[in-house]
Amino acid sequence: MLTLVTTLWPAAAFAETSSNDIAAKLSALNWVEGSGQTIEMGDGLAELKLNEGFLFLNSTDARSYQTITGGMPSNKEIGVVFPEDENQLWAVYFEYEETGHISEKEKDKIDAKKLLKSYQDGTEESNKSLSEENRLYVDGWDTPPFYDEKTHNLSWSLLARDGMGNKLINYNSRILTRVGVVSVILVSDPDNLEADRKVMEEQVLSAFSLKEGHRYDDFDPSTDKKAEYGLSGLILGGAGVMAAKKLGLLSALLLFLKKFWIVVIAGIGALWGLFKRFLGKKETAEEAGGSSSADASLDPNSDQREDRPL
């Protein structure tokens, strides 16, 4: 998605795909149920203590999940966490990009007003070539950018809406590492963002840690690569800032927006219901195909299938 997690939930993505087919693919993923175990992420980059009440997908399955549910993987995913509680509708995506070491020099000079204007100018220009239903409008900051020097964590969230008036929001955290950035993106319904954010920070993000040798303070200026942008550039998408040197800021922003850093939540309820149907099953692809009764329950053409609502 992003870079980019990009979790898009368009209904059109499922127009030609049967619900049973989607459900079967979801059930075949390798769901890890939390029991307090420690999970390694990013080939030794970090680890996550997965507590009871949470589910985890590794990098490969996180990409598969996004593809199955109509999203667009960035191929930088290192994992995704879901709540096991069917009344909670959120997900936390983790990605890693080796950008080079990002300086903290801007920590007290982040110009939120200027950054917001950049987002708004970029979307306004992009909207000129789009039909109304595909347009995006940035209304302001939900949480203005702020940097925690102790944890080397940069966070922010934007308030936006699409051309149909649907609220769009995401909550972004960027954890600086020795030579890169871990992106943590909370995908949530706007009405529940505050509560979901609290769960993410207190129960998921607090359980995530970088391993020794990959931490921000492990940076060695004599050998390690430095990033060509700082904290403000990270908020604007990093690669977009690099492109700005040749294309100008506006063009860079348009490139940035095409990578879908704005997470669209429209339609999440229907998809989540489909996903929750399989939370208690933990079926593997082999188990689902191991008996005729299981096959029948997933076959939309079988007279023996179970008539269960999605």
What is the 3-class SS of 11-75, one letter each residue? HHHHCCCCHHHHHHHHHCCCCEECCCEEEEECCCCEEEEECCCEEEECHHHHHHHHHHCCCCCCC
Interatomic CA distance for residues 183 and 96, integer angstroms: 6
User: pLDDT tens, position by position, for the chain (310 residues)?
Assistant: 222 233 333 334 444 456 667 777 888 889 999 999 999 999 999 999 999 999 999 999 999 988 887 667 888 999 999 988 877 878 899 999 999 999 999 999 999 999 898 888 877 877 888 788 778 888 999 999 999 999 999 999 988 887 888 787 778 899 999 999 999 988 887 788 899 999 999 999 999 999 999 999 999 999 999 998 899 989 887 644 443 443 343 444 443 443 333 333 333 444 455 555 554 444 444 455 554 433 433 333 333 333 322 2
Give the pTM.
0.76
Neighbours of 111 (CB within 10 A): 12
Residue given tokens 């908020």 in the structure block: 235
Tokens of 175: 């954890």
Q: H or E element: which one contains 140?
A: strand 136-148
The residue type at 183: S
45 close to 96: Cβ distance less than 8 angstroms: yes
Instruction: Calculate helix-pair angle for 19-27, 59-68, nearest 10 degrees.
Output: 170
Interatomic CA distance for residues 78 and 58, integer angstroms: 6
Residue 242: closest CA among 79, 32, 99 = 99
